[in-house]
């Protein structure tokens, strides 16, 4: 059965809140029901208002204050309950109180009533709407936070849009109530004046349609476009201001359409796209083509993991009916194989390939000297200066090294430097210390343990893989320990020391210092974006751990974009390539159409054994965001192919909204989890639910059947039991 996961809440508090919501809902429904039950709508017709004008005017003359207060209360109540007839009540205000006082009363009453409707919708519905559709509404909420006032002001200026709809819909967003009130007060003023003025001429009106002539409607539409036009003007002025000090440096013509800085995944894709659409593009790389992924990250680490897995399988061959044997190998040969793998893939990212595609590739250090000019110190000597209409920064990231006392003296390697350093060794490091319990640290710790190192892994957090759920962390820890890794979580590194010929890491665990002896230390604490050395500081481009960009991946200079690790928020090769498309298309064709980068469905994987792969929300993410969810779980130990392969361990965990098959997130722990995840990525991208996966034919026997069986678990838990009871009775009757 699926497990229900909700934000932690005290039962008594929840009961009180639910009771209040019920009482408020009942009050609102009673008010609306009374309106229709007593046919109060008959008083809100133009003919009735015209017939009663004299009587109401006489009453107003005798008791102006009382009538004004009653009118105000009626208007607020009608607007708060979203009742029909606001137009007639507005006309009555003009007829009874004149243009000035009628406008004052209507303006404040309509704004107060609209805000009450806004608050009622928020109190009754927003939590459930956000819980059910939170991930889909994330972009909407960000847009409301940034530009909501502009959009609301525009809608308020156009009276052809039903205002009660605006009130209710805005209540479901994250807009602040005071912002809603203030913008509504100002935005509805123009329409209020028009209708109140029409009310002063009530006797001459033939119909409500006569109030809004085509010309007046056109004027309102133009007025509604004013805030958008104002926003464009503001942006234009801001662009002029940011470029002001560079005005004299802007070239009259440009050498290139696009210059790309960095030839990692993001830079290569940017250059490729630009070349495909026949733009003149230059790609600048200071070091190796292919960037971190090819030379230091994804490719060499996976080659290492494959060799380590084979060594592991040889030791455990008895599980397959074969003779187990301790693998004999040259560690230098293992490292040479990794180099051979890199060389085999290098042509995909080579200078020759990209030159053949039409990209000018320059090897050297690029530096921005102004928003359009890049100065390149070429590796073979000399300097080249190029101008471009647009620039894409894809400078990547570097390993994070902590300011640990004694670390430099003891020596260390990172995921970037270990391949060259360890490639010089004849044997695997005997005592290896891995500092860090994230994906990189876990992959390397397990791989080297399987190759024969005595590995100690130190992590300051209470568990490994802190971004994943606790059950995932536990599975990874169990797998690493089974391979001989000594996992020390909740241990804080204090300093490195020398003890004779030994290197020692001093750590603190619950306030007690401990000493760990090592021969080699791998620093695997994550990566930080490369933000210095190529002109960001001189141009004043803001950075906060990554380059600050908008939703189009533009920096404060609209012609300078960032993509990949340097832009964040994800440090994955596939995300860098994904962002590169948006940055490049916006850079080359942004004057016609711009695309907001789409981060809604981002998969990732950690290639420990068993693998960990995830897309969307985890349980801890959903709880932190207040998203209601169910958990459906299928154990891979029950899967036929996994049993046959000797890989019967792990699970598929799917998060869905309560009672629905919509996929909020998926975590898979098991062999080839990263490959299995692709089906869920496709489903989430295109809005397909678990029922669609269940109805899709999967080849037997394959690991992919795990996805179908997980969907089956959800379906079984949500079977219509009452209907099935009647079906059973039907079958019983058929046997008689």
Average pLDDT over residues 359-386: 96
What pLDDT, on a 0 to 100 scale, did the predictor assign at position 19? 72
User: Angle at Cα 502 formed by Cα 500 and Cα 505, nearest 5°?
Assistant: 120
d(CA 387, CA 383): 14
Q: What is the DSSP string of 582-593?
A: HHHHHHHHTTT-
pTM of the predicted protein model: 0.77
* Four-residue CA torsion sign, 683, 688, 694, 700: negative
What pLDDT, on a 0 to 100 scale, did the predictor assign at position 449? 98
Query: Residue 311 is encoded by which pair of tokens?
Result: 């060594």
Cβ neighbours, 10 Å, residue 266: 33
H-type helices in 38-84, by residue range?
Answer: 46-51, 53-62, 64-80
What pLDDT, on a 0 to 100 scale, did the predictor assign at position 238? 66
What pLDDT, on a 0 to 100 scale, did the predictor assign at position 82? 80
> Across the strands, what pairs with 504?
497, 517
Which residue carries 């960000």 as its tokens?
Answer: 142
> Across the strands, what pairs with 505?
496, 516
The model's confidence at residue 16, banded by pLDDT at 50, 70 and 90, is: low
User: Angle at Cα 298 formed by Cα 292 and Cα 303, nearest 5°?
Assistant: 125
489 burial class (0-12, 13-18, 19+ CB within 10 angstroms)?
middle
d(CA 337, CA 335): 5
Residues 6+ apart with CB under 8 A from 94: 102, 195, 196, 197, 198, 199, 200, 201, 202
DSSP 8-state assignment for residue 468: S
The model's confidence at residue 552, banded by pLDDT at 50, 70 and 90, is: very high
Rg of the chain over all Cα atoms, to the nearest angstrom: 33
d(CA 549, CA 560): 10
Which run of H or of E encompasses 325?
none
3-state secondary structure of 396: coil
d(CA 561, CA 550): 9
Least confident of 74-88, 196-210, 275-289, 306-320: 196-210
C-beta separation of 455 from 448 below 8 A: yes
The residue among 602, 710, 716 whose CA lies nearest residue 653 is 710
Measured in whole angstroms, the distance separating CA 254 from the mean position of its chain's CA atoms is 36
| Helices and strands (H and E) in the chain: how many | 27, 24
Instruction: Report the phi/psi class of residue 95: left, alpha or beta, with left for phi > 0 and alpha for psi in -120 to 50.
Output: alpha
Query: Residue 370 is encoded by which pair of tokens?
Result: 């102004």
Query: Residue 120 is encoded by which pair of tokens?
Result: 């009622």
C-beta separation of 360 from 282 below 8 A: yes
pLDDT digits (tens, 9 = 90+) for 669-682: 999 999 999 999 99
Pairing of strands 431-435, 520-523: parallel
Q: Is the pLDDT of residue 78 over 70?
A: yes
Which run of H or of E encompasses 341?
helix 331-345
The model's confidence at residue 233, banded by pLDDT at 50, 70 and 90, is: low
3-state secondary structure of 153: helix
The model's confidence at residue 50, banded by pLDDT at 50, 70 and 90, is: low
200 burial class (0-12, 13-18, 19+ CB within 10 angstroms)?
middle
Average pLDDT over residues 544-553: 94
Which run of H or of E encompasses 360?
strand 360-370
C-beta separation of 249 from 372 below 8 A: yes
The residue among 524, 491, 494 whose CA lies nearest residue 509 is 491
DSSP 8-state assignment for residue 246: G
pLDDT digits (tens, 9 = 90+) for 647-675: 999 999 999 999 999 999 999 999 999 99
> Across the strands, what pairs with 433?
456, 521
Q: Is the pLDDT of residue 639 over 70?
A: yes
In the chain, % of residues over pLDDT 90: 66
Instruction: Describe the crossing of helices 127-156 and 177-187 by its angle, rounded to 10 degrees.
Output: 30
Average pLDDT of the chain, as a whole number: 88
The model's confidence at residue 435, banded by pLDDT at 50, 70 and 90, is: very high
**Whether residue 153 has a cis bond before it, omega within 30° of 0:** no
What pLDDT, on a 0 to 100 scale, did the predictor assign at position 96? 81
Q: Is the pLDDT of residue 128 over 90?
A: no
Positions of E strands within 564-621:
603-606, 611-616
What pLDDT, on a 0 to 100 scale, did the predictor assign at position 148? 79
421 burial class (0-12, 13-18, 19+ CB within 10 angstroms)?
middle
- The total number of residues shown for the chain amounts to 736
Instruction: Describe the crossing of helices 86-121 and 163-171 by its angle, rounded to 10 degrees.
Output: 10
d(CA 301, CA 338): 8
The residue among 477, 479, 434 whose CA lies nearest residue 453 is 434
Instruction: Describe the crossing of helices 189-200 and 214-243 by its angle, rounded to 10 degrees.
Output: 160
What pLDDT, on a 0 to 100 scale, did the predictor assign at position 341? 97
The residue among 351, 387, 357, 350 whose CA lies nearest residue 372 is 387
Average pLDDT over residues 175-190: 88
Least confident of 130-139, 203-212, 417-426: 203-212
Query: Residue 494 is encoded by which pair of tokens?
Result: 């204090």
Q: Is the pLDDT of residue 539 over 80?
A: yes
C-beta separation of 505 from 512 below 8 A: no
Query: Residue 461 is encoded by which pair of tokens?
Result: 């957090």
Instruction: Report the phi/psi class of residue 503: left, alpha or beta, with left for phi > 0 and alpha for psi in -120 to 50.
Output: beta
d(CA 369, CA 445): 43
pLDDT digits (tens, 9 = 90+) for 444-468: 999 999 999 999 999 999 999 999 9
Which residue carries 């080849």 as its tokens?
Answer: 699
User: Angle at Cα 675 formed by Cα 674 and Cα 681, nearest 5°?
Assistant: 80
User: Angle at Cα 296 formed by Cα 290 and Cα 302, nearest 5°?
Assistant: 100
Q: Is the pLDDT of residue 420 over 50?
A: yes
The residue among 495, 487, 480 whose CA lies nearest residue 461 is 487
Least confident of 48-57, 228-237, 488-497: 228-237
Terminal-to-terminal C-alpha distance of the chain:
34
The model's confidence at residue 136, banded by pLDDT at 50, 70 and 90, is: low
The model's confidence at residue 98, banded by pLDDT at 50, 70 and 90, is: confident
Measured in whole angstroms, the distance separating CA 417 from the mean position of its chain's CA atoms is 32
Domains assigned to the chain? 39-231 (no CATH), 256-289+350-399+529-589 (3.50.50.60), 407-526 (3.50.50.60), 610-721 (3.30.390.30)
């Amino acid at each position: 059965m699926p497990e229900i996961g909700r934000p932690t809440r005290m039962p008594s508090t929840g009961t009180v809140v639910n009771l209040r919501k019920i009482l408020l809902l009942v009050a609102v429904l009673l008010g609306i029901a009374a309106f229709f039950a007593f046919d109060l709508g008959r008083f809100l017709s133009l003919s009735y208002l015209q017939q009663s004008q004299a009587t109401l005017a006489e009453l107003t003359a005798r008791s102006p204050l009382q009538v004004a207060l009653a009118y105000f209360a009626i208007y607020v109540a009608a607007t708060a309950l979203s009742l029909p007839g606001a137009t007639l009540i507005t006309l009555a205000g003009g007829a009874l109180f004149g243009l000035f006082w009628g406008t004052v009363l209507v303006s404040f009453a309509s704004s107060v009533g609209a805000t009450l409707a806004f608050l009622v919708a928020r109190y009754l519905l927003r939590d459930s709407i956000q819980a059910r559709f939170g991930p889909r509404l994330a972009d909407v909420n960000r847009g409301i936070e940034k530009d909501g006032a502009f959009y609301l002001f525009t809608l308020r200026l156009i009276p052809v849009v039903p205002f009660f709809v605006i009130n209710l819909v805005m209540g479901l967003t994250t807009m602040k109530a005071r912002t809603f009130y203030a913008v509504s007060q100002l935005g509805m003023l123009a329409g209020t004046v028009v209708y109140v003025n029409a009310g002063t001429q009530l006797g001459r009106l033939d119909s409500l349609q006569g109030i809004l002539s085509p010309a007046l409607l056109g004027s309102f539409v133009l007025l509604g476009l004013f805030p958008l036009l104002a926003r464009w003007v503001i942006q234009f002025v801001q662009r002029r201001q940011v470029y002001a000090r560079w005005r004299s440096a802007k070239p009259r013509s440009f050498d290139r359409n696009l210059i790309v800085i960095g030839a990692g995944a993001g830079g290569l894709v940017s250059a490729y796209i630009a070349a495909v659409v026949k733009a003149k593009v230059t790609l600048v790389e200071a070091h190796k083509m292919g960037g971190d992924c090819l030379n230091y990250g994804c490719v060499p680490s996976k080659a290492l993991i494959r060799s380590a897995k084979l060594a592991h399988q040889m030791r455990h061959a008895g599980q397959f009916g074969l003779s187990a044997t301790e693998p004999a190998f040259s560690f230098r040969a293992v490292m040479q194989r990794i180099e051979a793998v890199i060389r085999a893939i290098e042509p995909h990212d080579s200078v020759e390939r990209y030159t053949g595609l039409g990209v000018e590739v320059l090897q050297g250090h690029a530096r921005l000297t102004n928003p359009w000019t890049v100065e390149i110190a070429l590796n073979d000597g000399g300097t080249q200066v190029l101008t471009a209409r647009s620039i894409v920064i894809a400078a990547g990231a570097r390993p994070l090294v902590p300011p640990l006392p004694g670390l430099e003296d003891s020596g260390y390697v990172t995921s970037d430097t270990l391949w060259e350093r360890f490639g010089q060794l004849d044997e695997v490091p005997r005592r290896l210390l891995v500092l860090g319990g994230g994906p990189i640290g876990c992959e390397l710790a397990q791989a080297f343990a399987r190759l024969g190192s005595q590995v100690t892994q130190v992590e300051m957090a209470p568990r490994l893989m802190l971004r994943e759920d606790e059950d995932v962390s536990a599975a990874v820890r169990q797998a690493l320990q089974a391979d001989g890794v000594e996992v020390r979580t909740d241990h804080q590194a204090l300093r490195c020391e020398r003890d004779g010929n030994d290197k020692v890491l001093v750590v603190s665990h619950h306030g007690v210092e401990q000493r760990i002896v090592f021969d080699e230390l791998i620093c695997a604490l994550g990566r930080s974006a490369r933000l210095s050395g190529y002109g960001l500081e001189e141009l004043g481009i803001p950075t906060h751990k990554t380059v600050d960009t908008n939703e189009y991946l533009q920096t404060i200079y609209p012609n300078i974009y960032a993509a990949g690790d340097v832009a964040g928020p994800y440090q994955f090769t596939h995300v860098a390539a994904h962002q590169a498309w948006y940055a490049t298309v916006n850079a080359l064709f942004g004057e016609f159409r711009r695309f907001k980068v789409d981060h809604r469905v981002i998969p990732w994987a950690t290639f420990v054994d068993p693998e960990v792969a995830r897309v969307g929300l985890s349980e801890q993410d959903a709880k932190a965001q207040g998203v209601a969810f169910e958990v459906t779980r299928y154990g891979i130990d029950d899967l036929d192919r996994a049993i046959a392969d000797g890989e019967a361990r792990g699970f598929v965990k799917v998060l869905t909204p309560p009672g629905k098959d919509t996929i909020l997130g998926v975590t898979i722990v098991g062999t080839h989890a990263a490959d299995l995840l692709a089906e869920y990525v496709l489903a989430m991208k295109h809005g397909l639910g678990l029922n669609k996966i269940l109805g899709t034919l999967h080849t037997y026997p394959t690991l992919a059947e795990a996805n179908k069986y997980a969907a089956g678990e959800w379906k079984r838990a949500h079977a219509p039991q009452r209907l099935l009871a009647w079906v059973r009775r039907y079958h019983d009757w058929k046997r008689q």
